[in-house]
Structure 1
Amino acid sequence: MSNPTFSILITTKNRLTDLAFTLDKIQYLLDNKNVVCLICDDGSTDGTALYLQTNYPEIRLIQNPKSQGLIYSRNRLMGLVTTEFAISIDDDAHFLSENPLESIRNYFEDNKNCGLLGFRIFWGLEEPRSIISTEKPHQVQGFVGCAHVWRMQTWRDIPDYPAWFIFYGEENFASYQLFKKNWEIHYLAEVLVHHRVDIKARKQHKDYIERQRRSLRSGWYLFFLFYPYREIPRKMAYSLWMQFKLKVFQGDFKTLLAIGLALLDLVGNIPRIIKNSNRLTQKEYETYNALPETKLYWKPEK
């Protein structure tokens, strides 16, 4: 086909082994003439660019000479999309479903108010024992960044992801913006993705504190950007209390440092928060919170 319908977008940095595995797993999609693939190499130093240029010349590669962060890179990729739909997957994720493109296209055609689809995601180093699910598609609050698909019409209807978040939170940012524009986010269990991550092992990684810091501050940024003023003090207090109760008081003192750094980030970004706020009314806030929560994890039925 001369005019592809789908773009597959991948952001990567120094994870060549994961990326190579993913590309091998989705080769059948890359071979589909209805698909184009774009990859952003965010300042890798492990030979990622050379590997792609040598083995996948058909993939459009863009590079950040210096790392700019995941969200900045996703914005770059989204800005290059010319197809009707854009599928975003992490470099350590691949599809387990046999015909994801057909399922995606059919669902969007049948649900005109749906601007974005989140997929059923299995988290773990090994594939699930069973891929069967009886879950039905339905509207949800948000989506998971590691695997989702945009109807590009809706992306162009809202602001870009906030690159100043650096990492984490862009999905919720987009979900609030979509809600304000009356676009819906749906969960499509028919499409299953394997995210090859050991979540428990992350606590032992060198970047644990930085991940905690970025996760906390992104949540707090979102409170101040979108929540009605009356809700912010209660949400901030609850967030801090839960961090102390579930982590610090249990001996996870790394989280204490992450909390302090995240609070400093929040104060430092007050000008950006004021500039970019798009606050929900109290009624909008209640309607949004009445929606089913984002489907983050899926586990096989025993």
Structure 2
Amino acid sequence: MPTVSAVIATFNRAPELRTALSRLLTQTHPVAEILVVDDGSTDGTDAMLRAEFPSVRYVRLPHNAGLIYARNFGFANTAGDCVLSVDDDSWFVEPDGLARAVAYMEAHPDVAAVACNIETRDGLVYFPPQAAPFDAPWYVGCGHLLRRSAVAATGLYMPELYRQGEEKDRGLRLIGAGYRVVALPGVMVHHDKSEKGRKPGLERFYNHRNDLIREIARCPARLLPWRFLRSWAGNSWKNLRHGPRLTDVKVLLALPEIVRIGLKHRAPVSEDAYRRWLHLSKTAAPLSPPLRSSRANQRFALTRQAD
């Protein structure tokens, strides 16, 4: 049976983290170790963990280095065959959720990542829960399972992304290396979406910035000019739909940094792999932002017909 390490990155969400850990400890599949990586909390997270969860490993980073750095740290400092990542405000809905995800990965050696289905506290669902497993372009950070050997072969996240977009980049790299990312709609993870630390303007900026970095780092040279412009235009349109914003100006000012980081990590995938990832992005991507359940069902039906 594959061993599982669980990694939870946290920042100033002690009450939410308490719930996430309590739910994780009720899973029927044994978790060999749980590592909480604290990205500089000041709300008593450390005292809560020592008093209530003495079996959980706890590391407090000396400064706030970002969610992605914390996840890299957690992966590098655990040893399980599989690495489970849930947010400090998310947990499996059913006690055998982890067991089913591990069983699927064990039965399919070419699967490097399992994307769990995500439901939020306001009733949004990413995939129809009754749907069969299917190939996806990426997973959602608040609920996924990784095969350690596949991640070791393809590399850690780009820490410069700081807080968003790492799932898309890793999904592309895994597909480029011949692995599969598979969504399991029946394995549900509840995301409570704590408001602590959420800043919509900052999220829009990092979504836009990090998509551009990914294109420079992974897109084949022949497609790069078009895809870079397409990504910029697509994100600009999304920003405009939320009303006048300064996001595009901030991204433009960050362009030298975007190019520098992208070139630093440049390792393009093959054109075939990139086109497959694009196809999956159009037909099987997790909804972002998620639509309400009935609309998600409609979209899923349409995209599966197009596949």
Q: Give the Cα–Cα distance (whole angstroms) in 1 for the partners of residues 36 and 84 of structure 2.
A: 12
Distance 1:152 1:273 in 2: 25
- Once the two structures are superposed, residues 89-148 of structure 1 have per-residue CA deviations (whole angstroms, 9 ceiling, x without a partner) of 0011111123123212221122110011000111234698xx982200111111111110
SS at match of 2:54: coil
Shift of 1:230: 3.8
- Matches of 1:68 and 1:183 in 2, distance apart? 29
> How is 1:144-155 mapped onto 2 (pairs within 5 angstroms)?
144-155=140-151
SS at the partner of 1:225?
A: helix
Which whole-Å deviations, capped at 9, do the CAs of 1:143-181 have from their partners, x for residues lacking one?
Answer: 111110011111111111010110111111111221221
The one-character-per-residue Cα deviations of 1:270-299 (angstroms, maximum 9, x if unpaired) are 233222111133333223323343224485
Partner SS, residue 108 of structure 1: helix
- State which of 10, 18, 21 in structure 2 corresponds to 1:23: 21
CA contact (8 A) 2:176 2:274 kept: no
- 2 CA distance for matches of 1:190 and 1:251? 32
Note closer, same or farther for the CA distance 1:133–1:269 as it changes in structure 2 (3 Å cut). Answer: closer
- Which of 216, 221, 236 is the aligned partner of 1:229? 221
Among candidates 34, 38, 43, match of residue 37 of structure 1: 34
Return 5+ residue gaps in structure 2 as ranges: 298-307
In 2, the alpha carbon distance for the partners of 1:148 and 1:132 equals: 17
Deviations 1:233-286 (A, max 9, x none): 3334334444454543x57223xx121212332322423322211113333322
Q: Please show how residues 152-171 of structure 1 align to structure 2 within 5 Å.
A: 152-171=148-167
Task: Give the Cα separation in 1 of the matches to 2:225 and 2:128.
Answer: 42
RMSD over equivalenced CA pairs, Å: 2.7
Structure-2 separation of matches of 1:98 and 1:59: 19
Deviation at 1:213, TM superposition (A): 1.0
Q: Runs of 5+ in structure 1 lacking a partner?
A: none
Q: What amino acid is the match of 2:67?
A: L
Q: Residues 195 and 285 (structure 1 numbering): CA distance in 2 closer, same or farther, change over 3 Å?
A: same
Give the structure-1-normalised TM-score: 0.86
Residue matched to 2:88 = 91
The yes-or-no answer on 1:218 pairing with 2:215 is no
Q: 1:103 aligns with which of 100, 103, 121?
A: 100
Task: Confirm or deny that 1:72 pairs with 2:64.
Answer: no
1:294 aligned partner: 285
1:197 is matched with 193
**Does structure 1 residue 11 correspond to structure 2 residue 9?**
yes
User: Which SS does the other structure have where 1:117 is aligned?
Assistant: strand
Deviation sequence 1:50-79 (CA, Å, 0-9, x none): 111111110000111211100000000000
TM-score (norm: length of structure 2):
0.85
Q: Identify the match of residue 176 of structure 1 among 166, 172, 182.
A: 172
Q: Secondary structure at the match of 1:141?
A: coil
Q: How has the CA–CA distance of structure 1 residues 23 and 120 changed in structure 2, closer, same or farther, with 3 Å as cutoff?
A: same
Q: Specify the alignment match of 1:265 in structure 2.
A: 254
